[in-house]
Amino acid sequence: MDDQSVVKAVKISFFESLNSHHLQHSINDIVDILIGVIKTQLCVRHAAFYFYNKQLDSFTPHTNDNEILIEALPKLQYGKCYKVEKDIIFPFIHEDKLHGLLLINEIDDRFHRSTLDEIVQACSSFYINALMINQASQKEQKYKQLYRLTEKFHSFMNRDDVLVELITTLQGMYEHYLFYLFLSHDNENHSELPIKSLGFDEQTGNEKAMEAFVTGKSQLSSNQQSQETVFYTPLKGKQGVYGVLQVVANQGIDLTYENRNFITLLSTAAGNALENAQLYEQSKRLIKDLQLINETSHQLNKNLRLTDNMTYMSSRITDSFDANEVGFFYFQQDGSLQILPGSTRFFETEMVSEYIRYVREKIEKDLEGIFIGDFTAHIENAMFPSVMAVPMVQSDSLKGFALVLHKRPYHFTFDMFKLLQSLIHHSTLALTNSLLREELETLVKTDHLTQLYSRKYMNECIENSMKNDRKGTYILFDIDDFKKINDTYGHQIGDKILVQVAKIIKSNIREKDIGARWGGEELSLYLPQVELETGVAIAKRIVERVRENTEPMVTLSCGVSYWDAKNHINYNQLFSKADQALYLAKNKGKNQVIIQA
C-alpha cells in the first residue's frame, strides 16, 4: 500500500469513527480509537498518548519518556511530526494550545516525512473534532444532570442530605478527582462525608479555603512538584456562604476550565439548597421556640404557687437547653439574694458563690445577659464552663436573674441564649406576680413585729389539724409583768423583748409547728401530732430559755392543753383549757408551766 493509500485509509477510519456513537463515552474512548487506527494503518506495535498539563508543565501518564517529551516541546509545530531517534511524535495542537502527544515507537522508514505530516494533520483534526463532539455531548449531559440535581437538592429539607447528594454525584461524574468539604465548627454533621474543619488555624493549611469562604469567590492553586491542582469553590446561597467544596486533581490530571465552571454551578445549586434547608430548620426551631414561650407563659399565668411555677420553669429550661444546673435568684429589699424554689441543688452549695459574684456584678452594671462558652477564662477549673445568665427586669427595675450552666464548654448556642432571653422576658411578670402574691399572703398570715403567724392563721391550722390529725398540743404563753417593762424601759424595749421571745420559740420548734402572736404580750404555739408529755417538755424548755436569754430578762407564764381522737373537744374548748391553765400559772407566782388537759 502506497503512502497516499495509507493517508486515505487513516482519514476514512477517522471519518467513520466520527459518525459513530463511541465518541460520546469519554476522552479515553477517543484516544483508544486514535491509537487503534495508527497501529493498524501504520503497522506499528506500540503507540502511547500523553495528555499535556500546561499549568504543571507535565505529561500524564508519567513515564520514563517524559523528559524526552518535555525537551521536544519547543520544537513542536501544528501538523508536523517530530522524530526522536527511532520514535515519532505526533503533536495535537489546536488554537496554539497543545492538548497532548502521540508517541510512536519504531515506525517504518518507508513513510515519507510529508506523508507523516498529513497523518498528523488527520489525527489532529480527528482528535479535536471528536473532542468537540464529546465535550458537547458531555456538556448536554452535565446540564441535564445539573437541572435534575437542582430539583433534587431543593426537595431536601435536611442539610446532610444535600451534602451527601453533592459529593456522591461529583464522585460519580469525576472519578479522577478527589472531593472534600470544608465546613465551619458549628456544623453538626452526622454523615460519612469527607469533611475538613474550616477555621483560621494556620496549621490546617486551608488558607485558600478560608479565602473562598470569606470572599465567596472560587480559588485555584497548583503545585508543580507534587503535580497537584486544587480548586476551592464556595457553597454559596443568596444570604451567605455555608462551606467550601475542595476539588483535588493529582498526578498532573488536568482540571479544565469547563469542569471548574460546571462544579461551581453545581456547588452554587447546593449552596442555595443548603440555605433553604437551613431556613426550614430555623423556621421549625422558631416555631418550637414560640410554642415553648407560649406554653410557659400560659402555665405561669394560671396563678399557681411560686414553688410550682419555678419548678415548672426549671424543668422546661433543663429539657429545652439540655442544661445541667438551673438557678433563679431574686433581689430582696435589703439587697440580698434569695434563691427561689425550683433551683437545682448546686445552687445550695458554696461552689456557686464565684458564679453569683461574677454574674451579679455584670448584670447589675448594664442589665444585659451573659453568654460565655468557657467560664474557665474567668474562674480557673470552673466545674460548669458553659454559662448563660439572663436578668429579670420589670418596669426597668432589676428583680433578679436566671442562671443556666453546663459542664461541657461551648455547649449552649447563641440561638439558645436568645431563646432563654425571650423566655425569661415573657415570664418575669408572671414570676414577679407570684412572688408578690406570696409576699402578700405572708403579710396577711404573719405578725409584722415578731414574724410569728397571726392568730387567725393559727386558728385555721388548728381547725384543719383537728379534722385530719389524731392529736395535738396547744401552748399559750404570756410575758410576765410586761406592762412594767414598757413603763420602765419604754415601748421600744418592750417590742425588742417580744422579738427575742418569738425567736426563742421559733428556734425550739419543728418546721410544721405553728407559732403565733395571740395578742399583746401573749404568744401561742400549736404542735400537731405531739403527745401532751412532749408538749409540756417543749413548753418548759422555752420558759427556761426565755428566762436565760432575754435582755432585759423576762419570764413566761404558760398554760398547756391537749386533744386527741378520744376526748372529742373542739377548738374553743382547747383554747379555753390553755387559757385557764395560764391563769393558774399567773396566780401561782408566774414563770411556770401549768397543764389543763
Is residue 198 scored above 80 in pLDDT? no
Q: What's the pLDDT band for 304 if we cut at 50, 70, 90?
A: low
The pLDDT of residue 555: 94
Evaluate whether 310 touches 340 at the Cβ level (below 8 Å): yes
Q: How far does Cα 65 stand from its chain's mean position?
A: 57
Average model confidence (pLDDT) across the chain: 83
Nine cell digits for residue 443: 403579710
How much is the pLDDT for 203?
Answer: 45
Q: Where are the domains of the chain?
A: 3-137, 154-280, 301-440, 455-595
pLDDT at 505 over 90: yes
Indicate whether 194 pLDDT > 70: yes
How much is the pLDDT for 81?
86
- Cell 435534575 -> residue: 148
Joined grid coordinates for residue 63:
513515564
Around Cβ 269, how many Cβ atoms within 10 Å? 22
Q: Name every residue whose Cβ is closer than 8 Å to that of residue 185 and which is 6 or more positions away in sequence.
A: 197, 198, 199
Q: Of 42-56, 132-146, 465-479, 563-577, where does mean pLDDT reach its minimum?
A: 132-146
Alpha carbons within 13 A on the beta-carbon side of 461 = 21
pLDDT surpasses 80 at 294: no
Q: What is the DSSP letter of 346?
A: G
Choose the CATH number for 154-280 among 3.40.50.300, 1.10.1370.30, 3.30.450.40, 3.30.930.10: 3.30.450.40
The SS3 of residue 323 is coil
> CB under 8 Å to 231, separation ≥6 — which residues?
218, 219, 220, 246, 247, 248, 249, 255, 260, 263
Write down the residue that cell numbers 505529561 correspond to. 59
Task: Give the largest Cα separation in the chain, rounded.
Answer: 154
239-277 confidence digits (pLDDT tens): 888 888 898 888 767 777 878 888 888 888 888 888 887
Q: Which three cell numbers stand for residue 519?
A: 395578742
What is the 8-class DSSP label of residue 453?
Answer: B
Please name the residue ranges forming H helices in 91-190: 113-153, 159-173
Encode pLDDT of 93-147 as tens digits.
887 788 888 888 877 777 888 888 888 888 888 888 887 877 777 667 776 776 7
pLDDT score of 585: 94
CB neighbours (10 Å) of residue 448? 8
Domain 455-595, CATH homologous superfamily name and number: Reverse transcriptase/Diguanylate cyclase domain (3.30.70.270)
Rounded alpha-carbon distances, angstroms, from residue 573 to 468, 539, 563, 582 = 18, 20, 10, 14
Of the spans 26-30, 79-83, 183-187, 510-514, which averages the highest pLDDT?
Answer: 510-514
Count Cβ atoms below 10 Å from residue 418 Cβ, excluding itself. Answer: 13
Distance CA 360, CA 474 (A): 45
Question: Where are the strands (E) in 531-589, listed by range?
Answer: 556-564
Cα dihedral 266, 268, 270, 272 in deg (nearest 10):
-150
pLDDT at 447: 81
- Residues 535-546 have pLDDT tens digits of 999 999 999 999
Residue 85 is given by DSSP the state T
Which residues pair with residue 389 across a beta bridge?
Answer: 370, 403
Q: How many CA atoms lie within 13 A of 105 on its CB side?
A: 6
Alpha carbons 411 and 405: distance in angstroms, whole number: 9
| Number of other residues whose CB lies within 10 A of the CB of residue 325 | 20
394 compared with 510, residue with greater pLDDT: 510
- Are residues 325 and 349 in contact, defined by beta-carbon separation less than 8 angstroms? no
Query: Does residue 515 have a pLDDT over 80?
Result: yes
**Euclidean distance between CA atoms 404 and 370, whole angstroms:** 10
pLDDT in tens, 431-487: 777 666 666 666 667 888 888 988 888 998 999 999 999 999 999 999 999 999 998
pLDDT value of position 522:
92
Q: What is the pLDDT of residue 25?
A: 55
Q: Is the pLDDT of residue 42 over 60?
A: yes
Pairwise CA distance, residues 289 & 464, whole Å: 44
Question: What Å distances lie between residue 257 and 166, 301, 401, CA to CA?
Answer: 20, 65, 59
For 415, what's the count of Cα atoms within 13 Å in the CB-facing half-sphere?
Answer: 10
In angstroms, the Cα distances linking 578 to 91, 461, 531, 559 are 124, 17, 15, 5
Quote the CA–CA distance of 205 and 178 in Å, as a whole number: 17
Matching CATH topology for 154-280 and 455-595?
no
Superfamily of domain 3-137: GAF domain (3.30.450.40)
- What per-residue confidence (pLDDT) applies to 295? 72
Mean pLDDT value of segment 26-50: 84
The confidence score (pLDDT) of residue 56 equals 65
Instruction: Note the CATH number of domain 301-440.
Output: 3.30.450.40
Structural contact between residues 398 and 392, judged by C-beta atoms closer than 8 angstroms: yes
CA distance 100 to 118: 18
